[in-house]
Structure 1
Amino acid sequence: LDMGCGDGTMLKKVAIWARKEGFKVDCIGIDFNEKGLDLARKASADFPEIQYMKQDILTLRPEKLKCDILICTLTMHHFYDEEIPIFLEQFAKLAHIGIVINDLQRSPVAYHLFRVFSAIFVRTKIAKHDGLVSVRRGFTKPELIAFSKSLPSMEHDIRWKWAFRYVWVMRTKRLTEIYE
């Protein structure tokens, strides 16, 4: 289950990996932007294992949608801080095994590097502006740790990755206990 799936890029990567490894997967992309979902459906025409749904992350019905693993890539920074615990709680109800969130690190270095990078490589003013806004709305590790406190039923691992990102992996404690 990919929350904030955008154009479906991550789900296609998951489907390609699963095919190579011989796994059968059913992938669902959730997004609120119908234009993005239309692009995703067209780009995923050769992937029958992927479906897309228009849904507001904040009003999900966990009893209607379950998954083993939930991913959320570059989506969390689009929400207000007070909304994040709401959807994290929803995510925990949806995911049987775990959750992987990949989002931006907020830092002055990332901001200034993006300004330089975008001046050379990003063509439109709106894309430059949106990129800078996204970096400003990213997260610090202490902020992610504070959000993690709202999910004591999960085991949390938050790591910095190159290109000023954090990967936050949450595993259900019931799963961790099985393998220990």
Structure 2
Amino acid sequence: MISYKERSSEVELMDDLTLDQSQIKAVLADINKANRLLGGNRITLKAIQLLANKFPRTKYRIVDMGCGDGSMLREVAAFCAGLGINVELTGIDLNEKSLQIARQKSKPYNNISYFKGDILDLNAQELHCDILLCTLTLHHFHEKEIELFITKFAELARIGVIVNDLERNKIAYQLFKIFAAVFMKTEIARQDGLTSIRSGFLKKDMIAYSELLPNMKHHISSRWAFRYEWSFWHT
């Protein structure tokens, strides 16, 4: 029987850097379809709008950590253009094969760029980041790694950070099995989706992480489709 009391440490199949590009493209298409149908990315978009309203600027540099094929950034570009918010967008990922797909898909956007790198190796002078996004990425890491990442996020983001990730929930797990059987084409996406839910978070986890950053203001909310939004910003 699966326990939901603790986060799973199982590694997702998509974290294998030896996967070929055609596999990666197919799996990311499945993930993007799930986000589109369930509206998961809207959580991040609304949080960006709230931070922009709270901290007015003529232009925002927004970085997406673990950007995959760049689908989140393309949605951010369209959303901000509709609101008249001037943005410069950067995607960072460790997988060059994913980044090649991202660059190809983002050719129509002159305000999106990508580079391969480990965000822990960057500093604030190199990145020039106002808002940092972490969408469906935090659950890939173990507890000690998460502590390092969120501390680094706070250091890099001049305004704040938006985390959008999964709730560890038995009902979500069972519903995803049905959703994946109907809407997902790749076995990797089906398996990784279940692993992701087991690796997701409870609200108490998010609260515990927030306590590691006592000098920042935090907002943690349960969202639609078994998601958590955790935004934190400098005061």
TM over 0.5: yes
- 1:140 alignment partner in structure 2: 202
- 1:125 alignment partner in structure 2: 187
RCO (CA 8 Å, sep 6+): is it higher in 1 or 2?
A: 2
- Which AA in structure 2 matches 1:81? E
- 2:65 alignment partner in structure 1: 3
1:31-50 paired onto structure 2 within 5 Å:
31-50=93-112
Q: 75, 86, 90: which one pairs with 1:13?
A: 75
Classify 1:116/1:65 alpha carbon distance in 2 versus 1 (closer, same or farther; 3 Å). Answer: same
Give the % identical residues: 50
Q: Deviations over 1:29-67 (max 9, x none)?
A: 111111111111111101111110111133333332121
TM-score by length of 2: 0.70
Gaps of 5+ in 2: 1-62
- 1:52 alignment partner in structure 2: 114
Q: Which moved more, 1:162-171 or 1:11-20?
A: 11-20
Measured in 2, the distance between the counterparts of 1:162 and 1:117 equals 15
Q: 11, 17, 22: which one pairs with 2:84?
A: 22
Classify 1:120/1:13 alpha carbon distance in 2 versus 1 (closer, same or farther; 3 Å). Answer: closer
- 2:128 alignment partner in structure 1: 66
Q: Deviations over 1:96-123 (max 9, x none)?
A: 1111100000011111111122222222
Pairing 1:90–2:152 present: yes
Give the secondary-structure state (helix, strand or coil) at the position aligned to 1:26.
Answer: strand
Q: Deviations over 1:98-151 (max 9, x none)?
A: 111000000111111111222222223222111110110000000111011111
CA RMSD, 1 decimal: 1.2
Count of aligned positions: 173
Mapped contact 2:124–2:157 kept (Cα < 8 A) = no
Gaps of 5+ in 1: 174-180
CA shift for structure 1 position 10: 1.4
TM-score by length of 1: 0.91
Pairing 1:162–2:216 present: no
